[in-house]
Amino acid sequence: MNLDLVYRQAVLSVAGNPRVEALIKGRARSLVRRYVAGETLEEALRAAEALEAQGVHAILDLLGEMVRSEEEARAFQEGILVLVRALAEKPWPKYVSVKPTQLGLDLSEGLALELLRGILREAEPKGVFVRLDMEDSPRVEATLRLYKALREEGFSGVGVVLQSYLFRTEKDLLDLLPYRPNLRLVKGAYREPQEVAFQDKRLIDAEYLHLGKLALREGLYVAFATHDPRLIAEVKRYTEAFGIPKTAFEFQLLYGVRPEAQRRLAQEGYTVRAYVPYGKDWYPYLSRRIAERPENLLLVLRSLLGG
C-alpha cells in the first residue's frame, strides 16, 4: 500500500466537505499565513520584496480557480492586470502565474483565450512573464491548446506546466518541442485516478527526473518546481556533469516551505523563485499543501485546537 497516496487522497477528500472547509476557514488562520502572503496585493508585494532582499525572486499568484460565471472570470482578469501594472513599477524580475479555470476555462475555452490574450498584451511590453498553470487531468488538453494558441499568435512571454505523475506527460512534452516552451515541471498536486496517473511516489519521482533531463537535453529552459532534496541534488549533479549552465534552468519552491533551502540555492548561484500566493480564495490552495505533507495536517489540528 502506498501510504503517501492514501494520505493525500484522504486529505483531499475530507477537505472537500463544506463543514471542514468552514471550520478551517474560521480557525486555521495561523497556518494560512505560513503559506499565503496575505489577502491583498500590498501584502504580496511586501513578501516579494522581502524575498528579493534574500536573493530569491517571487512568482506572484492571485489565488482563484474554477469560476462559475463570466463576470467572475473578468473580475479575476482585472485583478491580474492590476498585479501586472504594480509589478511593472518594481526593479526586480516580474513573474505571475494564472490558472485557466480562474479565467473561465470551464465556461468557454474561447473566453479563457480572450482573457489570457488581454493579460499578455499588457504584460509583455512591461516585461512581466506569465506562467499558465496546469490543473487537474480533465483540463490538461484544453490548457495545452490555450498555450499553443497564444504562442501561435506571437506571444513569447508565456510559459506552461507539466506534471510528472500523469501517464500522458512525456507525449505532451514531445508535442510541445516545436514551441520551445519555457517549462515548469511539477510532480502534481491533484487527486487523480490510477487510470491516468502514477500512484507510487517512487515512479513519480523517477518520471520527474526523466522528463526534466529530457527537456534539458532538448535545450528547453526548465523550472524545476520541487522541495525534495534528493531531486534537487540530482538536478544539480546532472547539470554539472553535462556542463549545462545555471542560466539554462532554475529551481522553484513554495512560499513558506524550506526557506533556508531557497536562500542556500540562491547563494550557490542558482536562479530561485518562490511561488507567492495571495488573495481571499486561498482554501483550495491550502488544501493541496496539507495533502502534500503530514506535518501540515498537524499544524492544522493545532490551529483548530488552539482556536
Q: What is the pTM of this model?
A: 0.87
Q: Residue 156 — φ and ψ, nearest 5°?
A: -110, -20
Cell 487523480 appears where?
192
- Cα separation, 178 vs 165, whole angstroms: 23
C-alpha cell at 241: 556533469
- Judge if 111 and 238 occupy the same domain: yes
- Judge if 68 and 109 occupy the same domain: yes
- Judge if 273 and 307 occupy the same domain: no
- Judge if 103 and 180 occupy the same domain: yes
- Judge if 172 and 187 occupy the same domain: yes
- Cα separation, 287 vs 271, whole angstroms: 28
- Judge if 156 and 303 occupy the same domain: no
Catalytic residue status for 200: no
Q: Tell me how far CA of residue 98 lies from CA of 62, 101, 104, 158, 286, in angstroms.
A: 7, 9, 11, 10, 17
- Judge if 26 and 47 occupy the same domain: no
CATH number for the domain including 241? 3.20.20.220
Catalytic residue status for 217: no
- Judge if 128 and 273 occupy the same domain: yes
Catalytic pick among 106, 133, 136, 205? 133
- Judge if 216 and 243 occupy the same domain: yes
- Judge if 28 and 123 occupy the same domain: no
- Cα separation, 104 vs 288, whole angstroms: 21
Q: What is the pLDDT along the chain (307 residues), one digit of tens a residue?
A: 466 666 556 655 655 666 655 656 655 566 677 788 988 999 999 999 999 999 999 999 999 989 999 999 999 999 999 999 999 999 999 999 999 999 999 999 999 999 999 999 999 999 999 999 999 999 999 999 999 999 999 999 999 999 999 999 999 999 999 999 999 999 998 889 999 999 999 999 999 999 999 999 999 999 999 999 999 999 999 999 999 999 999 999 999 888 999 999 999 999 999 999 999 887 777 766 666 655 555 555 554 445 4
Q: Which domain holds residue 154?
A: 39-281
Segment holding 160, helix H or strand E: strand 158-163
- Cα separation, 191 vs 158, whole angstroms: 26
- Judge if 296 and 165 occupy the same domain: no
Strand, coil or helix: what is 250?
Answer: strand
C-beta of residue 27 within 8 angstroms of C-beta of residue 304: yes
Q: What is the number of domains present in the chain?
A: 2
Catalytic pick among 8, 131, 139, 184? 184
Residue ranges with strand state E in 7-157: 57-62, 94-98, 128-132
Sign of the torsion formed by the C-alpha atoms of 55, 59, 60 and 63: negative
- Cα separation, 58 vs 274, whole angstroms: 5
- Judge if 292 and 191 occupy the same domain: no
